[in-house]
Structure formats: C-alpha cells, structure tokens
C-alpha cells in the first residue's frame, strides 16, 4: 500500500493561484487519492472548501463540506456554474490561501453546477445559502479569481498589511531559492 499523499497549502501571491485550471482527463485511483488528500488538507487547515490550485495543482477539482459531517463531503471535478440566482447577499469570507484575511463578498444565494465526480460520473446539483457561497468561492479559484479580487476598496485597505506580509514572505522564499 502506498503512503498517504500529504498536500501543502499554496499561499497568495503564488502564480498558480492566478491561472485558470485545466480540465481533468484522467480518472482512477490516483485522482481518488488526490481528492482524499484535498479533504485531509482542508480539514487539517480548518477550512470548509479547497480547490486544487490552492495546493499547487492546476486541475479543475474542488472539494467542500458546508456542515463538517463526513456524509456531506462534496467533490466536483471539471465543474461549471450553469446558473446563479436568488438574492445577492453580502457575507464575510475567508480563504485558506489568505490566512488571517477576511472580506465582505457579494454573491448570489443560489447556484446550479454541472460536473463529474472523482470516478467521472456526471452530476448536477443546486446549492443554496452557505453551501452555494462556498461552491462559488472555490469555483473562483479554478478561474484564477481570488478573494482579493472580490474585496471592496475598504477591505483592501483594512487588509493591506496582511497582503503585503504575504507578498514579502513569498518573495523571501523565492530569494532563498
């Protein structure tokens, strides 16, 4: 039996976070192991959702769990949001790629997504409320859209020192080689 895959979070401003993720074409045990590792990383980090670019992978995979109950795990491979509806609501969001940073983000209350599961089986689901917000946030990551892009000018100003610190840490790590 192979050793469990352990993933590390990718933090802003790592360039992989800005690139549109590519379609998953290969399904099987390797993809299923990667999805399980994504859930493990998400839970270990205290998150409710995670997209593959957040662990340095450029594939269109997202996982989330709006309740924390294992039976509520959601895996969406090659997702597309086909409809957004309902009232647009404003709620505070955080992001595992932006530790200590929170911002008020406007999103429609409902979204309908088509995707496939980790085995390649087609699925379609409608999410509402918090689950919809999490799904849309993680989908943004697959498009290269980040929390900082959704921030109001006031939130950018309020979080400026945290954003600068993340950029400085990234540059220092690059300088070290």
pLDDT tens sequence across 110-150 = 999 999 999 999 999 999 999 999 999 999 999 999 999 99
Please give the pLDDT value at position 77.
Answer: 98
- Predicted pLDDT of residue 50: 98
- Band of the pLDDT at 1, cuts 50, 70, 90? very low
pTM equals 0.96
Q: Which of 3, 32, 124, 138 is catalytic?
A: 138
- Is 138 among the residues known to form the active site? yes
Domains of the chain, CATH where assigned: 15-176 (3.90.45.10)
Categorize the per-residue pLDDT at 177 as very low, low, confident or very high, splitting at 50, 70 and 90. Answer: confident
Is it the case that residue 26 has pLDDT exceeding 70? yes
* pLDDT at residue 72 tops 60: yes
Which pLDDT belongs to residue 4?
A: 78
* pLDDT tens figures, 76-108: 999 999 999 999 999 999 999 999 999 999 999
Three-state SS for 115? Answer: strand
- Number of other CB atoms surrounding residue 85 within 10 Å: 13
């Amino acid at each position: 039996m192979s050793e469990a895959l352990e993933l590390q979070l990718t933090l802003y401003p790592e360039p992989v976070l800005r690139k549109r993720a590519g379609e998953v074409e290969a399904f099987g045990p390797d993809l299923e192991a990667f999805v399980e590792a994504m859930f493990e990383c998400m839970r270990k980090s205290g998150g409710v959702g995670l997209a593959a670019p957040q662990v340095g992978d450029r594939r269109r995979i997202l996982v989330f769990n709006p309740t924390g109950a294992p039976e509520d795990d959601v895996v969406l491979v090659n997702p597309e949001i086909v409809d957004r509806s309902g009232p647009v609501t404003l709620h505070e969001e955080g992001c595992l790629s932006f530790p200590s940073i929170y911002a008020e983000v406007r999103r429609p209350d409902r979204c309908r997504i088509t995707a496939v599961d980790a085995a390649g089986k087609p699925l379609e689901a409608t999410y509402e409320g918090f689950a919809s917000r999490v799904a849309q946030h993680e989908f943004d990551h697959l498009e290269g859209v980040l929390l900082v892009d959704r921030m109001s000018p006031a939130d950018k100003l309020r979080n400026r020192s945290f954003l600068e610190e993340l950029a400085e840490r990234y540059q220092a790590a690059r300088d070290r080689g």
